[in-house]
Amino acid sequence: MVFNLSLNYVQNVEDAEEITQDVFVAVHQALGTFGNRSSLSTWIYRITINKSLDHIKAKKRKKRFGFILSIFGDDTTPPNDVQHFNHPGVQLEQKEAMANIFACINALPANQKTALLLSKTEQKSQAEIAEIMDISVKAVESLIQRAKTNLAVKLKMSEGMR
């Protein structure tokens, strides 16, 4: 559950493994503070989402820092500007198309991306998503609808660029 969700956020096996490890360390460290306000799986989903989003933000910061260093001539930093699409569930002949779809999903706002991933890849109900995201079911419904609409627009734009 943790690995699959994090993999759908980062689309890279190594990064997903790192996030999974971070999640279980966090769960172990915070287990004493778990107050049974939600189910254990909901709590772990929340931690996984937060760790995945934090990982993505940290990668973006690294890219910006590397770019700034390259402007000032510091060539000691290895380039980190391309994240390789490495999802084990995607067959070789489908990688380009799936990489494009995930690139469009990655361009969605974080809350829309989360709702869409939980709905479509994790097969969670809107009620479960509402509990995981700590929002109303109506808000989840709206997020999923906006995510689908935005995704369709982004996919259409990316098809036009080919």
135/63 same-domain check: no
Q: Is the pLDDT of residue 75 over 70?
A: no
Among 27-36, 117-126, 136-145, 147-156, name the one with the lowest average pLDDT: 27-36
Burial class (CB in 10 A: 0-12, 13-18, 19+), 93: exposed
CATH number of the domain bearing residue 55: 1.10.1740.10
Tokens of 115: 């709702």
> pLDDT-based confidence at 78, cuts 50/70/90?
very low
SS3 for 31-43, per residue?
A: HHHCCCCCCHHHH
23/60 same-domain check: yes
What digits encode the pLDDT tens for the residues 4-21?
999 999 989 999 999 999
Tally of structural domains, the chain: 2
**Cα–Cα distance between 141 and 23 in angstroms, integer?**
27
**Cα–Cα distance between 59 and 32 in angstroms, integer?**
30
19/57 same-domain check: yes
Return the residue matching tokens 């996030």: 19
Calculate Rg over the CA atoms of the chain.
Answer: 17
Average of per-residue pLDDT values in the chain = 84
Domain enclosing residue 129, as ranges: 89-162
Among 49-53, 80-84, 108-112, 138-142, name the one with the lowest average pLDDT: 80-84
pLDDT at 49: 96
Q: Is the pLDDT of residue 131 over 90?
A: yes
Tokens of 75: 């060539």
pLDDT at 34: 86
- What is the mean predicted confidence (pLDDT) over 123-144? 96
- CA proximity to 58, closest of 35, 83, 37, 33: 83
40/108 same-domain check: no
End-to-end CA distance of the chain: 35
Give 93 or 131, the one with higher predicted confidence. 131
